[in-house]
Amino acid sequence: MIRLALWIIGSLCLALLALWMISLPGTLTLEVAGYRMQPPLGGAVFMFIIVAIVVIVLWAIIRRIISAPGVMARRSRERRREQGVEALGDAMIALQAGDPVRARALAREAQARLPSSAAAKLLEARADLALGDMPAAREHYRALIADDKTALAALTGLYDQARAQHRPQAALTFAHKALALAPSSGWAAEAVFSDLARRGQWAQAVAMVNVEQAGSREDRARKRRRQAVIETARARENETSQPLAALEHALTALKLLPDFVPAALIAARIHINRGETRKAMSLLRRIWRSTGHPDIAALYAHAQPGASAVDRLKRLGEIIETPPPHRAAGMALARAAIDAYDWLLARNALAPFEADATQGVASLMAEIEEGQNGDQGKAREWLARAVRAPRDPAWTADGMVSDEWEPVSPVTGRLDAFEWKVPMTATVAATARSSEAPVEQLAAPAALPLAPAPNPT
């Protein structure tokens, strides 16, 4: 309603202006080619306005006629570009949908309509790779490397191709090139880092981790854990040849991860070898309180070289309450009690866990029955139960069980793959060896070859 009123008012104003111009007094004399005209002044102004409007309209028509070919060419280019973009999008959808043949055809169509589009070339290379046409994909990727905008994407494709063809050295070469072009490239850095860890190049690996940018809390925790694992691996590597350097690496790992059991075991063994028993026991007590790991209890029991089985049992009683708070503590205490021929204590240590006995508990109970009473029948019953019983936690990585922690998986070469958990299967030979006598190995002096026992005085 307001707009209508404003339009009516504006129209009236224009009409009044035109009437005022027409009614202006005076005349205007025009002489053109011997002709003279003397229109009224208002009419002359009105005629000039009409003539100007006509001239403008005529020029607009002429200009449009002149520029028509260019406009048509521009519209054709825009239409081709729109069709190329649509083909590019359809090709991407087809590739994601698992139709590489259609994706390659659409990518070629997009490339024909968009000759300068690097995305179309890259998509065609991806389609070739999906179709298994490795030579064509390689040629496309190598052509894209020459362009700075597409070099990283091309190296990514070549890396994927090399991995698909099981050429790890070529894949690593492409990863190194990509990392040189873009140091922030995540996949390239991960590939190079994994190779360094797999080959045990710990100094270069930790240098890469140290320069990583960790923004979130999860990234910082992941970085700290990687650093701790690498420092532990360096300590493990130098434990025999360079014990002081190994001790420094192990303590650095414990600063990063205060409860990291592998680093604590290495540091404690080195302290024991150096005669620093109190430092070793203090460290082991702290780690035992936070983790309850059986390897910690076993090494704590053997912290004093040359100690008798009774002394080891007494020492273990310093950190394990009676009754034991959990199965690992009960098994460690029972193992030490069996070695000291304290059958009653061994039986009492395992009593809370007999109902849901694991393989380790059942094996220890068989030893107790045979050692205390000489009851071969009950011992065989426990051994038969051990065969069917659940397994005890062990260092497990990629389906493989190891007696000791290792920094990388022997199967995949993945860093920090080993976890202390119950193995899912029992099909690995190393697993069978470690599960036959899990507790004996935890408490046996085999954990102490690094701390040779002096002759007791």
**Domain residue ranges in the chain:** 121-129+137-199, 210-392+427-447
Confidence of residue 267 (pLDDT cuts 50, 70, 90): very high
Measured CA to CA, the distance from residue 277 to residue 395 in angstroms comes to 26
Question: Is residue 26 very low, low, confident or very high in pLDDT (cuts 50, 70, 90)?
Answer: low
Pick from 42-51, 161-170, 376-385 the range whose average pLDDT is largest: 376-385
Tell me which of 100-114, 294-308, 372-386 is least confident. 100-114
Q: What is the model's pLDDT at position 244?
A: 94
Residue 9 has pLDDT above 80, yes or no: yes
Q: pTM of the full predicted structure? A: 0.67
Helix, strand and coil in the chain, % to nearest 5 = 70, 5, 25
What confidence tier does 271 reach under pLDDT thresholds 50, 70, 90?
A: very high
Cβ-Cβ contacts under 8 Å for 42 (sequence gap 6 or more): 20, 21, 22, 23, 24
Output the pLDDT for position 328: 92
Handedness of CA 222, 226, 229, 232 (dihedral sign): negative
Q: Identify which of 35-39, 99-103, 358-362 has the greatest average pLDDT.
A: 358-362
β-sheet bridge partners, residue 27:
40
Q: Specify the CATH class of 210-392+427-447 in words.
A: mainly alpha
**pLDDT of 71 over the 90 cut:** no
**Closest Cα to residue 160, out of 147, 178, 182, 146?**
178
Mean pLDDT of 68-83: 82
25-29, 184-188, 274-278, 294-298, range with the lowest pLDDT: 25-29
The pLDDT value given to residue 443? 36
The torsion region of residue 34 among left (phi > 0), alpha (psi -120 to 50) and beta comes to: left
Kind and range of the H or E run holding 397? strand 394-397
**What's the CA gap between 128 and 39, in Å, rounded?**
81
Query: Looking at the predicted structure, is the pLDDT value of residue 228 above 80?
Result: yes
CA distances from 246 to 234, 235, 243, 256, 269 (A): 7, 4, 5, 16, 11
pLDDT of residue 122: 76
pLDDT at 405: 93
Residue 376 has pLDDT above 70, yes or no: yes
**pLDDT at site 304:** 87
- Only one residue has tokens 């085999």, namely 446
391: closest CA among 420, 429, 349, 424? 424
